[in-house]
Amino acid sequence: MSKVLLSVGDIESKDWYKGLSLERDVVLTFDDQTAHDIKYAVVWKPKPGLLAQLPNLKVVFSVGAGVDHILSDPMLPDVPIVKVVSENLTQHITEYVVWRVLDHHRQGALYREQQRAGEWLEQPQRPAQEVSVGIMGLGQLGRSAALALKHMGFRVSGWSRTAQQADGIASYYGHDGLTPFLNGTDILVVLLPLTPETEGIINYELLGRLRRLPDYPGPVVINAGRGKLQREADILKALTDGTLHQATLDVFEEEPLPRSNPLWRLPNLVVTPHAAGMSDPNHLVPAMLRQMTAYEQGRGLGPVVDRTRGY
């Protein structure tokens, strides 16, 4: 019987194992004999070279929305990589983005500061219709967040490396579309995949191209994508010198974020511990099992990662 390798690093594996075992023979380790029986691998940050030891591997499943942790393996076998994004994960990301956009927009940090000081002072509030939210990354997660924010009245636009469409969302793409997108954005939401082309894209020069209105406190950036999309030294500089008014970061170049990192102590930065979207096995495992069955029945897989694009 074909086996499924479960290798999810520092993620709690118990529920993943329990769900997959309902229909499949699941192993956490293998030797030379069992390696030949493994047909599927369900992974998160697998050790380089691990998958290359499986001579009959047919499909790799990522337990998270990102796949850079798989593609970075120089010995990665030439098999399909499936990125399983459930409605549950999409909902989590959308909730997080809406929460952080609203908190920045409705001056949550200022009101919390006033509360600590015992100050009763209503602040002028700009309406959502006058605020532009730009979303970098218009995949399933980005489109969901964009439509939720548009429904709340914000002016929403999106940018992606290649042309993408979302109902009622102004779309920009490629190198030529990036500057006009940024020049019209007050709150920047980053949901891009991590690829060689996007690594470090959130840098000081890019942040300097965000819109600055005379009667608005300044631009905001929210990164709920991947940590290596950003240059944290540049974000620190931008938050310190006024290039950015505020920021929320859920992901970091090094995780967990070291306690010595000065980002922890910035008053205009909200840090969350990679909590925007949880990979819930109760929702993702059934989708993986359906994909395995479909593959065995010759009905194909989807969505399969395009290795040339990195997502």
CA distances from 93 to 62, 89, 148, 274, 284 (A): 17, 6, 11, 11, 15
Per the annotation, the verdict on 283 as an active-site residue is no
* Catalytic residue (choose from 69, 106, 274, 307): 274
Place of tokens 């994004």: 85
Q: How far apart are CA 225 and CA 265, in angstroms?
A: 22
Phi (first) and psi of residue 160, to 5 degrees: -145, 165
Tokens of 276: 């925007």
Who contacts 156 (Cβ-Cβ below 8 Å, separation ≥6)? 132, 133, 134, 135, 146, 149, 150, 169, 170
Instruction: Give start and end residues of each alpha helix (H) in 228-280.
Output: 232-241
CA-nearest of 147, 151, 154 to 169 is 147
Per the annotation, the verdict on 226 as an active-site residue is yes
Q: How far apart are CA 52 and CA 57, in angstroms?
A: 9
* Catalytic residue (choose from 24, 161, 226, 231): 226
- Give catalytic residue positions: 226, 274
